[in-house]
Amino acid sequence: MTAPSDADRALKSKHRAMWALGDYPAVAAEVIPELGTVLAQACGAGPGVRVLDVGAGSGNAAIPAALAGADVVASDLTPELFDAGRQVAEQRGAKLTWEQADAEALPYADGEFDVVMSSVGVMFAPHHQEAADELVRVCRPGGTIALANWTPQGFIGQMFAVMKPYAAPPPPGAQPPPLWGSEEHVAALFGDRVTEVVAERRTVRVDRFASAEEFRDFFKACYGPTIAVYRNIADQPDKVAALDEELAELGRRNDLGWGAMDWEYLLYTARRAG
């Protein structure tokens, strides 16, 4: 691994600050609580299995893996999220380790983990190839890589497309997070370093919001990327009003008719070759 440049350190500092905005633990706990459990089960977490959760946030997947008996390290660039995770872990009787770590430069040895997983976490690292390389590196040969990532076509992919015209330009080399939900993109990132690949599009039922406007206002208050976009246009009330309406319309388009939505994600599992 090469030493990070000043520009890279500044970018990571910005990312950490963005995810510390609002209340991401509320998003994980109230909107997509079962997503982490699905991933923990898919990766085979259990007694005797050493697991690294990359981009763990407040432990949406790490805590279920620990409750299954695995030896879990929950890592994230934004340690501000850990306090909420520790509280949940204590309430549920889960024992795990929390460590700050950059997904693109993980501070772990080659092949240190039996399972390397990420629930809508690693997808937000700006440089996809570097992050994929690290997932492979710290997984032992024959070990499991397991990911749950929002798809470009699904609700969150659509939301990022809606927000893009209002957001600050991405830094050079940064790639859109929902690409991690494309089977072809992930296949290109890992290449022949993985085998026994299973990639399945699934949906998670979201019934937290009684209306499209409630969804929009919750994300404006709690979800770091949405908060950052609104801050970028805070001095342009016409753009704020336009984004307000576009996000509400997105919610309306995806409403199943009774205050629920299905958000698509890619569930990906593979074994490290070698």
Per residue in 212-263, pLDDT (tens digit) is 999 999 999 999 999 999 999 999 999 999 999 999 999 999 999 888 999 9
Kindly give the interhelix angle for 128-138 and 183-190, rounded to the nearest 10 degrees.
60
CATH number at residue 193: 3.40.50.150
Query: Is 246 part of a structural domain of the chain?
Result: no
Quote the CA–CA distance of 216 and 269 in Å, as a whole number. 32
Q: What are phi and psi of 168, to 5 degrees?
A: -65, 150
Strands 194-206 and 261-272: antiparallel
Q: Is the pTM of this model over 0.85?
A: yes
* The total number of structural domains that make up the chain: 1
Query: Is 42 part of a structural domain of the chain?
Result: yes
Query: Is 105 part of a structural domain of the chain?
Result: yes
Query: Is 25 part of a structural domain of the chain?
Result: yes
Query: Is 233 part of a structural domain of the chain?
Result: no
Query: Is 238 part of a structural domain of the chain?
Result: no
Query: Is 248 part of a structural domain of the chain?
Result: no
pLDDT at residue number 55: 98
- Model pLDDT for residues 49-106, shown as the tens digit of each residue: 999 999 999 999 999 999 999 999 999 999 999 999 999 999 999 999 999 999 999 9
Domain that holds residue 23: 6-205+261-272
- Model pLDDT for residues 150-195, shown as the tens digit of each residue: 999 999 999 999 999 999 999 888 999 999 999 999 999 999 999 9
Query: Is 53 part of a structural domain of the chain?
Result: yes
